[in-house]
Amino acid sequence: MAIWAQDSFFRPKYLFWQNTPLVFHLVWQTRNIMPFAEKTEATSVAWRLNCFRGSWVAALEPYHDWFQKTFAADIQTRPDWARRIRVIVPQLPMSEESMKKLAAVFDPGTVLLHAWAARKPAFDTELPDFTPREDFIKSVAVAHQLGFRTSAYVTAVCINKDARVTEEYHLRELVLLRGRLFEEKKPAWDDYRAGAIVYTDPLSPSWRKLHARLMKEFVEKTGVDSLYEDCAGTWGDFGDGIVDGLQPLQGTYYLLKETRQAVGPNVAFSSEYHVERTAPFVTWALHGTTWGHEPFLKKRIVRGRPVNNFIWGPDVLTWIHGNSVDLADALGGIMPISSLWLEATRGGGGLPRL
Supply the pLDDT for residue 352: 46
Q: Render 169-207 in DSSP notation, one character per residue.
A: HTHHHH--B---TT-SSPP-GGGSPTT-EEEBPTT-HHH
- Spatial distance between the Cα atoms of 212 and 154, rounded to a whole number of angstroms: 12
Residue type, 126: E
Q: Letter for the amino acid at 191?
A: D
Residue 88 has pLDDT above 70, yes or no: yes
For 37-69, the pLDDT digits (tens) are: 788 888 899 999 999 999 999 999 999 999 999
Mean pLDDT lowest among 79-83, 94-98, 184-188, 204-208: 184-188
* Average pLDDT value for the chain: 90
Residues ≥6 apart with Cβ < 8 Å to 36: 182
The domain covering 76-346 belongs, at the CATH homologous superfamily level, to Aldolase class I (3.20.20.70)
The whole-angstrom separation of Cα 61 and Cα 274 is: 17
Helix (H) or strand (E) holding 5: strand 2-5
- Beta carbons of 317 and 303 less than 8 angstroms apart: no
Q: Which long-range contacts (CB under 8 A, 24 or more apart) does 12-21 make?
A: 12/236, 12/237, 12/248, 12/249, 13/45
The lowest-confidence range among 274-278, 317-321, 324-328, 338-342 is 338-342
> What local confidence, expressed as pLDDT, does residue 347 receive?
55
Q: Residues 6 or more apart from 31 whose CB is under 8 A from it?
A: 11, 12, 13, 14, 237
